[in-house]
Structure 1
Amino acid sequence: MGEQKPLAPGEAWRAVAACVLSTFALLAQHRVRLPKERQAMRLRFADGTSAPVYRETRLGSGLAKSPCTLMVTFRLRLVHGPAHTLFRTESLLNTPLFVGFPGFTSKLWLAHDERDRYRGVYEWDGPERAVHYARSLWRVLALVSVPGSIRYAVLPGLRRDDILANPGLANGPASDDDAAWWRIQGTA
């Protein structure tokens, strides 16, 4: 995946501000959807963890012209036990922080796994746009996350739903321990 780091603060915060403004227009146009079909689907990962989907957010059809799958993970500071339920409820308020980014099409929100990591599984239109978003989001996540816990993976040319249906499409080398957190092994 190469070196991962956030965008420079000014660039990241300008991108987030532009996203928030775009999101309000999308919400006013009723273009943001919260389908329920995938809620409670559980994703299993190559590192032995699993997590249920607790929300999906989709813009329009949710399909990208130049698809890529983006995986993001982080661990929240000071969120343990019952506080996870509160976070999942509150997280809907975070929608303006991603829906308006250029290239966003859809996101599956995963609850915390056995290691208290949250994941977002996105379909994005264009891998460069996905990387820009992930590096911008990093600045927001850093405010509430355990230092060193933020990571992302971009899988160019792969639709998120194709990976869910056939996880082998995204499998890297078996010895790639760095990929274990994002490699989906199956659904339940």
Structure 2
Amino acid sequence: MIPESGPAPRPKAWLAVARCVGTSCIMLARGQVRQPKDNVGRVLRFADGSTSRVYRETAVRRQPAEPCVLVVAFTLRLVRGRAHRLFEAESILNTPLFVGFPGFVNKLWCAHDTFGAYRGLYEWDGAERARKYASALWRVLELVSVPGSISYKVLPGLRRDEVLADPARIAAAGTDHAWWRLRTQE
């Protein structure tokens, strides 16, 4: 079993990312990846006091048999001021790094928050699949992130849209001031 929040061994992580990129390219060529606009512009508030704007959404047509929410956070190195907008624009190029992982359902891309951290709020099919993805992603993120800033939290049994509609659904999942705990949206 993968630990709750930590990186996969490098060889295993890079092999998983390579497989994902291959699968993603096929999915993109077949038009299986969508960019819905429903949540773009939505502001999310987290229990640590930060807020973040959703700047993109990515989804595939899959209904999860074992839904879970995955929240990933990281702080980019050397990105300040207007460079954040450039990162948001170029980050679409990162899509092949996740849509081809087994179990991916959807992702809300959250802009840097009031503390400078970016977040991804995902829905995944299977908590173990979400952990495997997040631990492999860690190896990609560590190349561009402030050391010690990468974290993830897997919340089994939850659907992303249900959590967005009623953030109290994750109240039982952890501490009151956790960085990953969604409070309310504006």
Identity of aligned residues (%): 56
Specify the alignment match of 2:182 in structure 1.
184
1:107 aligns with 2:107: yes
Specify the alignment match of 2:41 in structure 1.
40
Q: Counterpart of 1:76 in 2: which secondary structure? A: coil
Any idea what the Cα deviations from partners look like across 1:122-144, whole Å, max 9, x if unmatched? 00000000000000000000000
| Alignment length (residue pairs) | 184
Any idea what the Cα deviations from partners look like across 1:10-53, whole Å, max 9, x if unmatched? 00000000000000110111000000111100000111110010
Question: What RMSD in Å do the two structures reach over aligned CA positions?
Answer: 1.4
1:131-142 paired onto structure 2 within 5 Å: 131-142=131-142
Specify the alignment match of 1:5 in structure 2.
6
**How far off is 1:171 after superposition?**
1.4
CA contact (8 A) 2:155 2:173 kept: no
CA distance in 1, matches of 2:4, 2:154: 13
1:49-128 paired onto structure 2 within 5 Å: 49-61=50-62, 63-128=63-128
Output the TM-score relative to the length of structure 2: 0.95
Q: Which amino acid aligns with 1:182?
A: W
CA distance in 1, matches of 2:36, 2:154: 24
**How far off is 1:173 after superposition?**
7.3
CA distance in 2, matches of 1:149, 1:3: 15
Segments ≥4 residues shifted beyond 3 Å: none
Output the TM-score relative to the length of structure 1: 0.94
> Unaligned 5+ residue runs, structure 2?
none
Q: Counterpart of 1:112 in 2: which secondary structure? A: coil
Q: Which amino acid aligns with 1:50?
A: T
1:19 aligns with 2:17: no
Q: Counterpart of 1:51 in 2: which secondary structure? A: strand
CA distance in 1, matches of 2:173, 2:19: 38
Q: Which amino acid aligns with 1:181?
A: W
CA distance in 2, matches of 1:134, 1:8: 12
